[in-house]
Amino acid sequence: MTLVWALIRRDLVLAMRQGGGAGMALGFFLVVVVMLPLGLGPDQAMLTRIAPGALWVALLLSVLLSTDRIFQADYEDGALEVMLLGPVPAELIVVAKTAAHWLTTGLPLALAAPLLGIFLNLPADAFAPVVATTLIGSPALSFLGAVGAAITVGVRRGGLLLSILVLPLYVPVLIFGVSAAGAAITGPVSFGTPALILAALSLASIVLCPLAAAAALRVHFR
Amino acid sequence: MFQYANPTQFTALATTVQPWLVAATAVLFGVGLYMAFFTAPPDYQQGETVRIMFIHVPAAWMALFVYTVMALASAVALIWKHPLADVAAKTAAPIGACFTFLALVTGSLWGKPMWGAWWVWDARLTSMLVLLLLYLGYMALWQTVEEPVRAGRVAAILALVGFVNVPIIKFSVEWWNSLHQPASVFRMDGPTIHPSILTPLLVMALAYTVLFLVLHLAAMRSEILRRRVRAILLARTGA
């Protein structure tokens, strides 16, 4: 267990020293959220209606674009192979690296979401549902992305392929996340039901995705 | 199962069986289409438009069936490392994608007169579209990873991860408010369709299944030959 913590700490330290993790993802999140009203028009009422969905899509794309960072650097310099030969099972390595990725990317994006919602005329009483759903749902995004990252690690043009592979798996997370985030705005659907299903998706992905991702990593190092 | 792991044995079996399967496909399609367009009665509400069902529904069933075949083949490939399992999975994908596309297009053509819309974002249509994306992503993965054995393994993992979508599609009309017709054939209480319409539907479904077998076996033979060519080329340039 201390080894798993050591792995998480290692990834956190690397992310903070190398930079580019949270910063670039936040930058991309900002750019997408700025693009949307420029493209769709500034009508405040319309923006309020689409704000939860737009924030979730922008968050999803930002997380997606950063998931290839989970394994790529360690794959390229051989550290991943050394880790897989070590005492920690591959599944726990995946959990550690993905958890570190979520802490450095998913978590800051989830917390920044309501602030960026101001650009989309998100009402103040919707801030809490938005941040709650993004916090609950972003682990699912990170862990599903980790499966794609493990499948496409070391593949040329892997980033684009990763997006194609992972986006269909993101669809349920997106649907329930927006449904819960919009509870304060669009009325009838309560917050509780979709939020609980979103939590179930996150928990299931934390447990099941490392199995698939570890199997994929083992294929690459056969 | 491992009796036909030898590609030569498999190819011999496939070549022997193929003409019979092609004949069976032709007969079944002939009978099924005749029944669909001439014998089956028009619907009391939808009139003659209901006949799209005989193309649309079997195509949708096949889309799910082929993905299940793909997932089973992937599981066999990962667990028993059967040599032809990943060939089976790889070649099933384009056929399944075509069936899914056919189901979506015929459904859209049916939806325009019936629902007034070419497309609605309800649970059944959305999850079928996701199935198409899963097929396309699977095919893209095979194209991108160069080494066939490695490609087969990661593709198998992807196919198994995506299999969670198949029960979602099946139960989507029960779990969500859907514009799409709820299950009328594969239900716990049995089919709710009258035999005069159910029989052509099942004949067409059988025809589609045999068609899939024909296409799948032909594609597997091609893939085996393609791998032989690759091995020969590598041996020539390598050693």
Measured in angstroms, the CA of A17 and the nearest CA of chain B are apart by: 32
When mean pLDDT is compared across A58-67, A178-187, A200-209, the lowest value belongs to A178-187
Tell me the pLDDT band of A144, cut-offs 50, 70 and 90: very high
B137 touches chain A (CB under 8 A): yes
pLDDT value at residue A188 = 56
A169 touches chain B (CB under 8 A): yes
The total of structural domains in chain A comes to 1
Domain that holds residue B215: 2-238
B161 touches chain A (CB under 8 A): yes
pLDDT value at residue A186 = 67
> Which ranges of chain B would DSSP assign to H, the alpha helix?
7-34, 53-80, 85-115, 123-144, 148-162, 165-175, 195-238
pLDDT value at residue A189 = 64
Q: Which residues on B lie below 8 Å from A172 (Cβ)?
A: 168
Q: How confident is the model over A6-18, as a mean pLDDT?
A: 89
Write the pLDDT tens digit of every residue in A21-31.
788 889 999 99
A174 CB-side CA count, 13 A: 19
pLDDT value at residue B238 = 74
A72 to each of A7, A66, B52, how far by Cα in Å? Answer: 15, 11, 49
B178 touches chain A (CB under 8 A): no
C-alpha span between A202 and A198 (Å, rounded):
6
CB contact under 8 A, A212 and B161: yes
CB contact under 8 A, B140 and A165: yes
A 58-117: CB under 8 A from B: none
CB contact under 8 A, A168 and B150: no
Give this complex's ipTM: 0.84
- Tell me the angle at which helices A107-117 and A127-152 cross, rounded to the nearest 10 degrees: 140
Mutation site, A68, A94, A164, interface B, largest B CB count within 10 A: A164
Q: Which residues on A lie below 8 Å from B150 (Cβ)?
A: 219-220, 222
C-alpha span between B59 and B99 (Å, rounded):
5
Write the pLDDT tens digit of every residue in A83-137.
999 899 999 999 999 999 999 999 999 999 989 998 888 888 888 889 999 999 9
As averages over each run of 10 residues, the pLDDT of chain B (239 residues) reads 80 92 94 89 80 92 96 94 91 96 94 87 89 94 87 93 90 78 76 84 94 96 92 85
Write the pLDDT tens digit of every residue in A48-68.
889 999 999 999 999 998 898
C-alpha span between B135 and A12 (Å, rounded):
36
B154 touches chain A (CB under 8 A): yes
Measured in angstroms, the CA of A16 and the nearest CA of chain B are apart by: 31
pLDDT value at residue B48 = 81
Return the higher-pLDDT residue of B191 and A215. A215
What is the domain-level CATH number for residue B215? 1.20.120
pLDDT value at residue B239 = 60
C-alpha span between B169 and B23 (Å, rounded):
32
Q: How confident is the model over A148-155, as a mean pLDDT?
A: 90
Q: Which residues on B lie below 8 Å from A147 (Cβ)?
A: 157, 161
**Residue B146: strand, helix, or coil:** coil
Q: Which residues on A lie below 8 Å from B136 (Cβ)?
A: 164
A222 touches chain B (CB under 8 A): yes
C-alpha span between A47 and B81 (Å, rounded):
53
Return the higher-pLDDT residue of B171 and A174. A174
The total of structural domains in chain B comes to 1
Count CB pairs under 8 A between chains A and B.
55
Residue of chain B with shortest Cα separation from A170: B130
Domain that holds residue A46: 2-220
